[in-house]
């Protein structure tokens, strides 16, 4: 395949940034999108220029590092995948592909396609954990039976990879799907219930403080989420929040 790429180049956080066009040829449909980016970067380096910086690590859809906004969609046109799992067979010979960073006020650009998602870290530090001592004197694991259904649902929520596609794709830059998934995992399990009230209040407060927008129930996040995190989790967070607010 021969392609034209329009890529956002921005030297650092204070640079203004602009779209730059690149031509690339001989792309195999079996390549992943990031392998195509590798080929492009090799080409740029051989011309003596600076390659495009982008975040990636596991390249198998689980670390949540890769974060590209491709043709106006977080992680590109394919459903239920991250950018590293997107394959070039989703594109056609002669296509023009626009590649931008995830854009949101709470995700400032660091360089080119790399953004700073540390706002997610701070939300989790505000309460996304169970306060248990880690030195190994806990009760036997089977002393806390958990119904298969609850365990499976908690697992579904816990599958979130913290990629931020939900934020990038939302017209309000809301982080509700991400935070909803975190809150849900703990809400569905018997462990850590004693601190459930503080947990949801603190996490929501931190989410607001980071400058994420509000949820207006558009549901774009669910559509773009590579891990199929469902809107149900936002509803559960809202219920938890309401319960907590009434108590608090």
Partner 1 sequence: MALDSKVPKGPLKDKWTDYKNHIDLVNPANKRNIDVIVVGTGLAGGSASATLAELGYNVKAFAYQDSPRRAHSIAAQGGINAAKNYQGDGDSFYRLFYDTVKGGDYRSREANVYRLAQVSANIIDQCVAQGVPFARDYGGLLDNRSFGGVLVSRTFYAKGQTGQQLLLGAYSAMNRQIARGKIEMFNRHEMLDVVKVGGKARGIIARNLVTGEIERHSAHAVVIASGGYGNVYFLSTNAMGSNATAAWKIHKKGAYFANPCYTQIHPTCIPRSGDYQSKLTLMSESLRNDGRIWVPKSMDDVMAIREGRKKPTDLSEDERDYYLERRYPAFGNLVPRDVASRAAKERCDAGYGVNATGEAVYLDFKSAISRYGKEQAKLQHITNPSEAKVYELGQAIVEAKYGNLFQMYEKIVDENPYKTPMMIYPATHYTMGGVWVDYNLMTTVDGLYCIGEANFSDHGANRLGASALMQGLADGYFVLPYTIGDYLSNDIRTGKISTETPEFTAAENEVKERIDFFINNKGEHSVDYYHKKLGKIMWEKCGMARNEQGLKEAMAEIKALREDFWKNVTVPGDANEMNPELEKAGRVADFLELGELFAKDALNRNESCGGHFREESVELDGLQKGEAKRNDEEYAYVSAWEYKGEPADAVLHKEELEFNDIELKQRSYK
CA distance 69 to 60: 18
Residue 163 engages ligand SF4 in binding (rule: CB under 6 A): yes
Q: How far is the CB of 159 from ligand SF4 (least distance, A)?
A: 7
**CA proximity to 203, closest of 187, 188, 217:** 187
Written as six digits, the tokens of 65 are 């590092």
- Among 189, 134, 130, which residue's Cα sits nearest to residue 157? 189
83, 85, 173, 233: which one binds partner 1 (CB under 8 A): 85
**Residue span binding partner 1 (CB under 8 A) among the ranges 17-25, 144-152, 208-216, 238-246:** 144-152
Instruction: Give the one entry of ligand SF4, partner 1, ligand FES, none that residue 147 binds, where binding means its C-beta sits below a cut-off of 5 to 8 angstroms depending on kind.
Output: partner 1
Beta strands in the chain (DSSP E): 3-9, 18-24, 68-70, 73-74, 96-101, 109-111, 114-115
**DSSP element (H, E) containing 83:** none
Question: How far from chain centre, in Å, is Cα 34?
Answer: 17
177 binds, among ligand SF4, ligand FES, partner 1, none (CB under 5 to 8 A by kind): ligand SF4
Q: How far is the CB of 57 from ligand FES (least distance, A)?
A: 5
Segment 67 to 106, residues that bind ligand FES, using CB under 6 A: 82-84
Q: What is the binding site for ligand FES (CB under 6 A)?
A: 56-59, 61-66, 82-84
Q: What is the binding site for ligand SF4 (CB under 6 A)?
A: 160-166, 177-178, 181, 225-227, 229
């Amino acid at each position: 395949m021969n392609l034209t790429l329009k890529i956002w180049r921005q030297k650092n956080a204070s640079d203004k940034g602009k779209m730059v066009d690149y031509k690339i040829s001989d792309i195999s449909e079996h390549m992943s999108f990031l392998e195509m980016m590798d080929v492009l970067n090799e080409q740029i380096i051989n011309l003596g220029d600076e390659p495009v910086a982008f975040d990636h690590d596991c390249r198998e859809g689980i670390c949540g590092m890769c974060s590209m906004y491709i043709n106006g969609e977080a992680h590109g046109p394919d459903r239920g995948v991250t950018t590293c799992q997107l394959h070039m067979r989703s594109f056609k010979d002669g296509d023009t592909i626009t590649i931008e960073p995830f854009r949101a006020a709470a995700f400032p650009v660091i360089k080119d396609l790399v953004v700073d998602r540390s706002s997610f870290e701070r939300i989790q530090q505000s309460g996304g954990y169970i306060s248990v001592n880690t030195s190994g004197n806990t009760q036997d694991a089977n002393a806390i039976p958990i119904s298969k259904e609850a365990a499976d649902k908690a697992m579904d929520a816990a599958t979130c990879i913290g990629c931020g596609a939900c934020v990038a794709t939302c017209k309000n830059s809301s982080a509700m799907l991400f935070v909803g998934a975190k809150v849900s995992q703990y809400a569905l399990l018997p462990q850590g219930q004693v601190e459930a009230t503080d947990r949801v209040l603190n996490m929501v407060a931190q989410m607001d403080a980071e400058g994420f927008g509000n949820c207006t129930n558009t549901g774009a996040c669910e559509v773009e989420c590579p891990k199929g995190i469902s809107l149900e989790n936002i509803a559960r967070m809202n219920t938890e929040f309401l319960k907590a607010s009434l108590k608090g």
